[in-house]
Structures are given as structure tokens and as C-alpha cells.
Amino acid sequence: MGRLAIMAAMPQELQTLLDAMPDETRVRRAGPDFWVGHWEGRELVVVLSGIGKVAAATTATLLLTEFQATQILFVGVAGGLGADVQVGDVVVATELLQHDMDASPLFPRFEIPGQGLSRLPTHTALSNAVAAAATQALATGSGRRTTHALDALATQRDARVHQGLIVSGDRFVSSASESTALRQALPDALAVEMEGAALAQVCHDFGVPFAVVRTISDRADDTAHVDFGRFIDEVARHVALDIVRGTLRHGS
Ligand code: ADE
């Protein structure tokens, strides 16, 4: 089956995964600590991605060249852009795009120069396995278990899983004007984060299957930063753990 790599966006998410793994060994390469071990009968390498596209691209490249990862799954949080994508929901990417890539007028806005593409698709079977695990996680545990913890979630409808476009850029989107501009430029974007499209480009170059799953921590507006740390501690790290476990158990 090969070795599955898990890239976690935040230290709390990484630690929660490491706490569940029975036998990890630390290996340091070019900055990040990589944790090699097993879980649910599968060979794993787990690492903190680092924030932003360059860090994610470096980490992904090391996973492929130094750790022989045969698939990569990114778990983390994102800001919701789609009208019905609310805090506590989970978005599984079907494709990723760099919203801050703009070499116009030489190339169309968002196109990766030299690739002739702006949107890079994720691996369908892996993404569907992740979406199934996310649906299960929200129905049975992590989403609900913690709904009392955050005021924003207490009044919310049941959390949902969405599949579609995730956009990435080297900015934490924390104003309504910026998220409105993103929605206008990319009406089908469900969520915004800072790493996924970089992982997509590396995996596309190497021909390696990958998936990106994000729990929605905020609406990418003026209050995006307010409950961010608390949300990761109280919600996102539990959801990430359940999604990774479910993906390992039910096929990837
Ligand atoms: N990750 C979580 N929320 C985000 C936001 N609002 N912008 C970029 N990345 C994020």
C-alpha cells in the first residue's frame, strides 16, 4: 500500500495525531521534524506543514524525495467562502488554485506559468475516502462533541461536509472586503487557506495522489482571527484525528 504522509497545518493537530500513533520515530530533514511510524496497520509519516505555500512545497517535496511517501493527505483549517460553508463544516478539495498567482498580462490571472493550468485536481478515490471519513466524524463524534465549546457553533445547524474548490494564498484573509473580492473573482471557491495549492503543484509534478481536507474555523472576515486558537484546540484537532483514523480504516 505504500507510505501515507499526513501534513498537519497546526502544532495542536500534529500533536493529536502523534498521541494516537503507537510507535513514531522522529527524523529531522532540512528544518521540519518528520515522524515515521504506523497506525491502523498502515505505514505513516506525519509532519507539520509549516505555514504558507513555500513551507508547504518544501515539506511536500521532502516527503516525496526523502521519505518515499506514496500519497499525501493535508489536514487543517480554512476560512469559509461559499455561502453555505459555515464554521464547523468540513471542506474536502476536489481541486485547488493559488488565488494570489497573477502573472497577467503575460498569462491569464491564476494560471501557473508554464503549466497552462490554474486548477489542479485532487485524487478522486482518496478524496472520496476522506469525505466519507469526515461525514462519519461529524455524525458520530468530533463535530458534535465540541459544539458546546464555541459560541459560534452553539447556534449553528449540524455541521456538513462539502466537496469542491479550495483556494490558497500567502495571506490570512481577515477582512470582509478581501473575502468579498475573492468570492467575486472565484464564485465557486468554498474555502481559503495558505498551503493546499502548493501541495497540489508539487504532487502534480511528481505524479503522486493527494487530498486536502479543512475544517472551517472562520468566515475569512473581520472576526476571522478572534476564536482561531480556541477553535483548533476545541474542535479542529479532534475532527482531524477522526478524519485521518477513518480514512486509514476505510480505505485510501
Ligand atoms: N486558515 C484558516 N482561516 C483562514 C483564513 N481566513 N485565511 C487564510 N487561511 C486560513
Taking the centre of ligand 1 as the mean of its atom positions, its distance from the CA of residue 43, in whole angstroms, is 30
Task: Provide the CATH number for the domain around residue 135.
Answer: 3.40.50.1580
What is the CA(74)–ligand 1 centre distance, in A?
15
Do 217 and 228 form a contact (C-beta atoms < 8 A)? yes
pLDDT, tens digit, 9 for 90 and up, residues 102-161: 999 999 999 999 999 999 999 999 999 999 999 998 887 655 444 445 545 544 568 899
> Looking at ligand 1, which atom is closest to the CA of residue 169?
8
Q: Is the CB of 194 under 6 A from ligand 1?
A: yes
Task: Kindly state if the Cβ of 220 falls inside 6 Å of ligand 1.
Answer: yes
Task: Please identify every stretch of the chain with a pLDDT value under 50, giving residue numbers as ranges.
Answer: 144-148, 151, 154-155
Q: Residue 153 has what pLDDT? A: 54
Q: Which protein residue has the closest C-alpha to ligand 1 atom 2?
A: 78
Q: What is the pLDDT, as a whole number, of residue 106?
A: 95
24 lines ligand 1 (CB under 6 A): no
CA of 56 to the centre of ligand 1 (A): 15
Find out whether the beta carbon of 172 lies less than 6 Å from any atom of ligand 1: yes
Residues acting as catalytic residues: 13, 218
Residue among 77, 170, 215, 221 to mutate when testing ligand 1 (max atoms within 8 A of CB): 77
Please state the domain count of the chain. 1
Give the per-residue pLDDT at 154: 46
Ligand 1 contacts CB of residue 218 (under 6 A): yes
Q: Residue 67 C-alpha to ligand 1 middle, in angstroms? A: 29
Bridge partner list, 4: 44, 71
Ligand 1 nearest-atom number relative to CA 219? 6
Domain that includes residue 162, residue range: 3-250
Q: 11-20 and 237-249 helices cross at what angle (nearest 10)?
A: 40
| Cβ–Cβ < 8 Å for 127, 200 | no
pLDDT score recorded for residue 224: 67
Q: Residue 36: in which H helix or E strand, if any? A: strand 33-39
Separation between Cα atoms, residue 161 and residue 137, nearest integer Å: 10
- Give alpha helix (H) positions in the chain: 11-20, 53-65, 124-140, 142-145, 151-154, 176-185, 196-206, 228-231, 237-249
167 lines ligand 1 (CB under 6 A): no
Q: Is the CB of 224 under 6 A from ligand 1?
A: yes
